[in-house]
Amino acid sequence: MKNQHINLVAADMGYGHQRPAQALSHLSAGEVITINNYDGIPDWEREYWEKSLESYEKISRLKKVPVLGQVVFSIMDAFQKIKPLYPSRDLSRPTIQQHYFYSFIKKGLGADLIKKIDSIKKPFVTTFFVAAQMAEYHNYSGDIYCVVCDTDASRAWAPLNPKGSRIKYFLPSEKVKERFMMYGLKEENLFVTGFPLPKENVGENKEIIKDNLIRRIIKLDPEKKYQTEYESLIKSILPDLKNYKDYKILQEKPLVITFAVGGAGAQKEIGAEILKSLALDIKRGQIFLNLVAGSRSEVRDYFLERIEEIALSDGKGVKVIFAETKIEYFELFNKVLQETDILWTKPSELSFFCALGLPIIISEPVGSQEVFNREWILAMGAGIDSLEISYSDEWLPDILKSGRFARAAMDGFLNAESKGVYNIEKVLGLE
């Protein structure tokens, strides 16, 4: 295929693996191979993945069920739990989860796919650790790269025999590099690139981010408290902000908040609570709320019903963001972020989007990896924990007036890496 520089492989399991793959799809001529749903996948493999995904989504939604749901979710989460980073120690011993996956790989899981794509002598790049392990076990002839999609990662992301592995990793931070060296991986196979954010939201010299950040800070700092306190910093980073031609016009526009549910549809109820709490501000034209349903029609319908209940209509102060396919959804979502002032979400892979200068309101983490993602956002200074949602109409304006959201926007831009795609291209020799 013309302009196909890599074989790009992801997994259709929520959005966490496919979103970063989509950001890299220009390197594969737009083709993203879905490991659990590609043309010609053997029936037994499809059945294996379908059962795995069904179980995960059920348990994710079950978490909100008192007592029983918490217990069941905790048992599942224990298998993918990330151990504390300190003290430094040897963490190379394989886990039960790894032995489980490898038992299926040894039975032939992934062999069919590797055989099919190995005829195209290109680097194998995947956002799903099991796919990288499959490629190595089934002797893929080219280089194998794995993109780590959280701010930290469990032992399962590393291969069974890390010291003898040839898998190379694109890592989000130096901290994760330290983690992977504890897992026994060779330093020469570890590349700190940052998470792959969509180029259309970044710009080669971060010009797109800076343009959006200027407009965002104007709206997030209505009383100029942040701009006054950090005047010299802002002047050095965003020299055009003070004299921005549409400054007054922007101040009069509604604050745009985007709430995003996870790929399993978890936490849609939180979106409904936010809508209810901010309904009066929405009707007054002070807030515009995007409710992101992704590619899940049942979540879209749920949001539309809640909108109707409070006498609003889709597109009038509130909009449901939905697309029929995940690819269409990712493209739409990236456009929505250009106009978003605050991103409200659980700390999934969207945690990395704070690097775009987007302050994040963090809803409850789902799973061990999201607990680490939350801690990372807070460490970056790029977000805040959600307070009581039913009182959002009270605490949101207070935080806005304080300039805290403006500071979070700038801190995310300064402290988190936004050029992951560009850095990955350099490692691959494709810049």
Residues 354 and 397 in one domain: yes
Pair 225, 240 in one domain: yes
Q: DSSP letters of 126-177?
A: ESSHHHHHHHHHTT-SS-EEEE--SSS--GGGS-SSGGG---EEEES-HHHH
Terminus-to-terminus CA distance in the chain, angstroms?
A: 19
The answer as to whether 421 is a domain residue is no
Q: Using CA atoms, how far apart are residues 191 and 146, in angstroms rounded to an integer?
A: 10
pLDDT over 80 (residue 69): no
In a domain, 420, yes or no: no
Identify whether 1 is part of a domain. no
Q: Which of 156, 171, 192 represents a domain boundary (last residue)?
A: 192
In this structure, are 148 and 210 located in the same domain?
no
User: For the whole model, what pTM was predicted?
Assistant: 0.92
- Within this chain, do residues 130 and 273 fall inside the same structural domain, yes or no? no
DSSP tag of 4: B
What is the rounded distance in angstroms from the CA atom of residue 317 to the CA atom of residue 208?
26
Give the residue from 149, 177, 192 where a domain finishes.
192
Q: Which domain holds residue 314?
A: 199-415
3-state secondary structure of 59: helix
Q: What is the pLDDT of residues 286-318, one digit of tens each?
A: 999 999 999 999 999 999 999 999 999 888 899
Together in a domain, 124 and 187: yes
**Dihedral of alpha carbons 266, 270, 276, 279, sign:** negative
Q: Are residues 205 and 185 in the same domain?
A: no
Q: Both tokens of residue 112?
A: 């069919």
Q: Do residues 174 and 248 both lie within one domain?
A: no
Cα 327 to Cα 161, 305, 330, 331, 355, distances in angstroms? 35, 25, 5, 6, 22
236-247 tens-digit pLDDT: 999 999 888 888
Q: Which residue has the higher pLDDT, 74 or 167?
A: 167
* Same domain flag for 59 and 208: no
Domain count, the chain: 2
Same domain, 151 and 250: no
Q: Are 184 and 214 contained in the same domain?
A: no
* Residue 53 within any structural domain of the chain: yes
Residue 236 covered by a domain: yes
For the stretch 361-404, pLDDT in tens is 999 998 888 999 999 999 999 999 999 999 999 999 999 999 99
Kindly report the CATH number assigned to the domain that includes residue 269.
3.40.50.2000
**Calpha distance 358→415 (Å, rounded):** 12
Specify if 425 maps to a domain: no
Q: Are residues 95 and 175 in the same domain?
A: yes
Residue with tokens 């801690």: 375
95 and 218 inside one domain: no
Contact assessment for residue 362 and residue 386, using Cβ atoms and an 8 Å cutoff: yes
126-153 burial code (b ≥16 CB/10 A, e <16): bbbbbbbbbbbbbebebebbbbbbbbbb
